[in-house]
Chain A
């Protein structure tokens, strides 16, 4: 346990305008770990993801977020990405006219520049892309199209995981990547996530349903309610949730608090 944590969130309070959403959220993630964050809609899961990725419009009123010991909140969103933070969006954004391959190459080269590595040229990049495609068993027609434009829900999520494969983040945050997916798409996405797991990196999987956790096996499961984690456990907690529902667990915990 002497390893430095990748992410260390302490007593985070944050919200929009005058509405508090996170109320004392704490979580520590070490290299090699997979954490699942579960909770009902409105519990603050996506707000947490947005704040970690650096979306504007949220006020952090209390608490700290350390990423490899550094203040994460001090960095611009693009700097966070270059430092290895990756957010798989719940609703990936369409960018008409911008070719997916071009976009991803630009993104990867930003990361490489930041690390002092030479930028990849088109051929080197395509070689890398093919290798990752094979790994995820994806068809390459997605890459010929504009970023997310006209993609089905499943295609968008797969494209997010593909970006993750190419960018190889140190901390991947998957914001409800399972929402809107049928079971086949869910399996493909989950298999991708599993294959991409590396001992020096970590994943924070945000989900509403336990079904994703049939395919992605977390080391830790956290239940979130009213802006903070009310219960943590291992994989069994997710199954417990499935059986008993959020209500009983959340109520019990809130009452105990």
Chain B
């Protein structure tokens, strides 16, 4: 009956909780992109010559590229000359020396987002680097980390304090020639997080970066670089939110991970950028390139993502399995509600012998949302005994949304084994009624069913965040149930 369908549809109407704007004085570049803009950014950050050269090379290459048209998403053409490429909260004096000197308004912002930067908050045991528009406003637990030899700081600091590491690894996994948005990011990136775990060290706490877009008309282009040296282990989490605005804002990040022999990186994302309103107005364009290189033997990289925000998501966290016996994993939950669009998935490139990859993707579409899984499993000639298992499940809520799966498989070695499973299901009115008839309200029933659907992915998230992710999913699909 149509009434029951309406109930389900009402239910998925969203309220975005993080849509506030922080009133803070900013220092911004005028909109527009040119070599001058790039020189300005580089000068602001007091960068060495080599980095400016690299930026300019990227920019010149970018000029030769055009936006990819293959994703199953639709948006008006982006005018790259209307975007502000640099915006930072005006420093009170010089750069804050410690978190105590950070503008209280900024600390309050993160407090409000549930990310206390004061080192006694709820997230004790998690070190946070907070990125506000184009710059890092502070990193917690630096001292405790440095005692173990772990470097965790903003990208800008890393360029100054650890230039050799940055120079060695920047662009080594995602070269600026990789794609349109990666080239753009390489030209104009403003900050991000840098992390290095030395040989044999197991990072003593979760590391996390929290990205916040605040200023209007500003693009956020951050760059994250994480290196796990031989035998090192690290678990890293990023979270993101943005104010509610009617215009679309561009977020084009690049994340590079490198794991050397026996190194392990677990990278988890809870992405909650502003998704636009219920009519599809506004929201973030999240065009991100993320790739991990399992460079050494027996290395392992795990991507876990919970994507609930953004008007459009275009991202494929990938693994290049170069080292023998290396392992790549991708666990994803992507939710599209209202008019959100997501084209997301992964690439697993097997080069080394006995390499193994696992892909578990859960797409949830509600409202008019369009959700696509796009994945490539590539087994090179050299990848003897490579193994892959992929599972792509889609769930539909209501009747106006869509789910699509585009799996690509390329195998060039006959000893390889590749498995792909896919399913599509619909939250049925029958399921909801069954829960109702046991005393469970419709909203709780939907949460229960959706969480059950995503369980395999949530169990891969660090404990504290698994709970957050479940709640977030609840909020994303929340509505006015009478």
Contacts and interface: CB of A to CB of B under 8 A. Distances in A.
Given A56-B1, A57-B4, A107 B434 contact: no
Interface residues on A, range: 20 to 34
B437 A53 contact: yes
A93 B428 contact: yes
Given A93-B430, A93-B434, A106-B444, A114 B439 contact: yes
A81 B441 CA distance: 10
A111 B433 CA distance: 16
A87 B439 CA distance: 11
A39 interface: no
B3 A78 contact: no
B81 interface: no
A84 to B, nearest CB: 10
Interface string A2-13: 000000000000
A198 interface: no
A106 B440 contact: yes
Contact of A56 (B4, B431, B451): B4
A96 interface: yes
A15 B449 CA distance: 30
B425 interface: yes
Contacts, number: 84
Contact of B431 (A93, A111, A114): A93
A95 B435 CA distance: 9
Given A56-B3, A56-B4, A97-B452, A92 B440 contact: no
A204 B442 CA distance: 26
Contact of A163 (B433, B438, B451): B438
A81 B4 contact: no
Contacts of B455: 97
A86 B434 CA distance: 11
Contacts of B466: none
Contact of A95 (B3, B442, B449): B449
B201 interface: no
B439 A110 contact: yes
Give me the 8 closest cross-chain CB pairs, A-B, nearest first: A97-B452, A57-B1, A81-B439, A77-B436, A98-B452, A110-B439, A107-B438, A93-B434
Interface of A: 53-57, 76-78, 80-82, 86-87, 89, 92-99, 102-104, 106-107, 110-111, 114, 146, 163, 167
25 contacts: A57-B1, A76-B441, A77-B433, A77-B436, A77-B437, A80-B437, A81-B439, A82-B439, A86-B437, A87-B437, A89-B434, A92-B434, A95-B431, A95-B452, A96-B425, A97-B449, A97-B451, A97-B452, A97-B453, A98-B449, A98-B451, A104-B438, A110-B440, A114-B439, A163-B438
Given A97-B449, A97-B451, A106-B444, 8 more contacts: A82-B439, A89-B434, A95-B448, A95-B452, A102-B448, A107-B440, A110-B438, A167-B439
